[in-house]
Amino acid sequence: MANEENKDKQGIFDIYQNDPENADKKVFGRVSYPDRRGFLKGAGLATMAAVLGGAIPFHRNMPAGIIPAAFAEGLEDVVIEGKDGLVVLNDRPMNAETPPHLLNDDVTPTQRHFIRNNGIPPTEVSPETWTLTIDGLVDKPMTLTIEDLKKNFEVVEQQLVVECGGNGRAFFEPPAKGNQWTYGAVACSNWTGVRLADVLKAAGVKDGAVYTAHYGADKHLSGKEGKLPISRGLPIEKAMGSENLIAFAQNGQPLHPMNGAPLRLVVPGWPGSCSQKWLNRIQVRDQVHDGPKMTGTSYRVPNRPVAPGEKVDKEDFVIIERMPVKSLITSPQTNSEITGKEVLVRGHAWSGDRKVNNVQLSNDFGATWIDAELEEPANPGAWQTFNAKVTFPQPGYYEVWAKATDDQGISQPFAIAWNPKGYLNNSFHRVALVVKG
């Protein structure tokens, strides 16, 4: 009896995660056809419409077993100093994401840039005394101040996307352990710094170099001296790309303490874990780097498609490199009420180190699609803004879906490509709208 009472008290996420097929029947009275296209009937349709605030004109296209986008968000905003509107997922280490509607700017303001920490940030972060050491397999090891970087190398500004490899993990089923990011572990700020490649060239990378190793001044959560929370790196070919920066400013101002002040790497198109914060050393190695969060299953995915929940041997995992094609609707905000039959939908799209060629939108659960207008990136590594006017045939509940396709013809999928660690979710972004007459 107690178990039955607990079931009655389950939230919508619990019900859908534990039994998505029966969830439709329990919550909305919906039954599913074998082709998994949803169908609502009688009192179930009326109940769902009442909950969502209006009729659902395209309910026959609605896939079964998925949580309506109207219910997929709703965490309360928590204010962090200098980080307006971010939602805190964890406070040890600090991790916080940005709701999609607060990412509407072409260039992400510093206060809206997400936070992904692995350890305890340093407290001594004076730009005047900070140094960066370049050593390992180089002809001329160097220790440089930030002023040295500014004087000895070309200073550049670039809009660059930084995205956590686990962005979207909250939607995996079975669930994956780790910070339960929804959509907001991504940003595209304007970064100022010097090219990583220029610094490596000045140090003289020797033959036989395979990988860089990055080190920061943050401490392990245990507080144990010498134990690092994270130290990742890049294949030397990627490290020598012109898009990667050693950055000392964000949006024309010194870095925010939670975003790596006073010096960090920014490696666009690859997992954010490659963009070491509080950077104080880059080592060039003759092997794939084996620092913390580089081995085992950290920032790795299976070398083949796997079934949801499948056990995968550690030797079958490969390191994540480029991030997949993705899009994000930033306006209107999900769960908004719209008056009239038309709304301007806006957002951003990106695809690792590729360009996005096309973004399409649907308001009938994927039955039909329209092309959005897509802007060119400000520079390689920046996201691209899209917009389109979406019309609605009658009042009711709608979901607007976004799907991006990159310059290699690769599109976002409807379903999540499941993996044990919950990385690289690039399924369609959905927002819920109630259209009033």
Same structural domain, 301 and 369: no
Indicate if the pLDDT at residue 420 is higher than 70: yes
Same structural domain, 333 and 313: no
In this structure, of 11-25, 211-225, 375-389, the range with the lowest mean pLDDT score is 11-25
d(CA 339, CA 347): 20
pLDDT value for 37: 38
H or E, element range at 283: strand 279-285
Residue 41 binned pLDDT confidence (cut-offs 50, 70, 90): very low
Same structural domain, 338 and 312: no
Same structural domain, 354 and 230: no
- For residue 80, tell me if it sits in a domain: no
Q: Average pLDDT, stretch 339-362? A: 97
Same structural domain, 125 and 205: yes
Domain extent at residue 19 = 2-64
H or E, element range at 349: strand 342-351
Question: Taken in order 287, 289, 290, 296, is the CA torsion positive or negative?
Answer: negative
Same structural domain, 302 and 349: no
**198 against 62, higher pLDDT:** 198
Residue 168 near residue 412, CB atoms below 8 Å? no
Indicate if the pLDDT at residue 8 is higher than 50: no
Indicate if the pLDDT at residue 2 is higher than 90: no
For 315, phi then psi, to 5°, come to: -70, -10
Residue 80 binned pLDDT confidence (cut-offs 50, 70, 90): low
pLDDT value for 53: 56
For 316, phi then psi, to 5°, come to: -95, 10
User: Which residues fall within 8 angstroms of residue 337, CB to CB, at 6 or more apart?
Assistant: 53, 433, 434, 435, 436
pLDDT value for 364: 97
Q: Please give the tally of structural domains in the chain.
A: 3
pLDDT value for 100: 98
Q: Average pLDDT, stretch 341-351? A: 97
Residue 385 binned pLDDT confidence (cut-offs 50, 70, 90): very high
**Nearest Cα to 191, choosing from 115, 226, 243?**
243
Same structural domain, 175 and 315: yes
d(CA 131, CA 215): 12
Same structural domain, 129 and 190: yes
Same structural domain, 315 and 332: no
- For residue 356, tell me if it sits in a domain: yes
- For residue 78, tell me if it sits in a domain: no
Same structural domain, 305 and 329: no
CATH number at residue 106: 3.90.420.10
The model's pTM is 0.86
Choose the final residue of a domain: 291, 319, 347: 319
- For residue 75, tell me if it sits in a domain: no
Mean residue pLDDT across the chain: 89
Q: Average pLDDT, stretch 259-277? A: 98
Choose the final residue of a domain: 285, 319, 353: 319
Residue 108 binned pLDDT confidence (cut-offs 50, 70, 90): very high
- For residue 79, tell me if it sits in a domain: no
> What is the percent of the chain with per-residue pLDDT over 70, rounded to a whole number?
83
pLDDT value for 68: 65
**Nearest Cα to 427, choosing from 390, 399, 398, 402?**
402
- For residue 423, tell me if it sits in a domain: yes
Residue 14 binned pLDDT confidence (cut-offs 50, 70, 90): low
- For residue 77, tell me if it sits in a domain: no
- For residue 73, tell me if it sits in a domain: no
Same structural domain, 106 and 173: yes
Indicate if the pLDDT at residue 18 is higher than 60: no
Tens-place pLDDT, residues 371-384: 999 999 999 999 99
Same structural domain, 138 and 243: yes
pLDDT value for 72: 53
pLDDT value for 75: 37
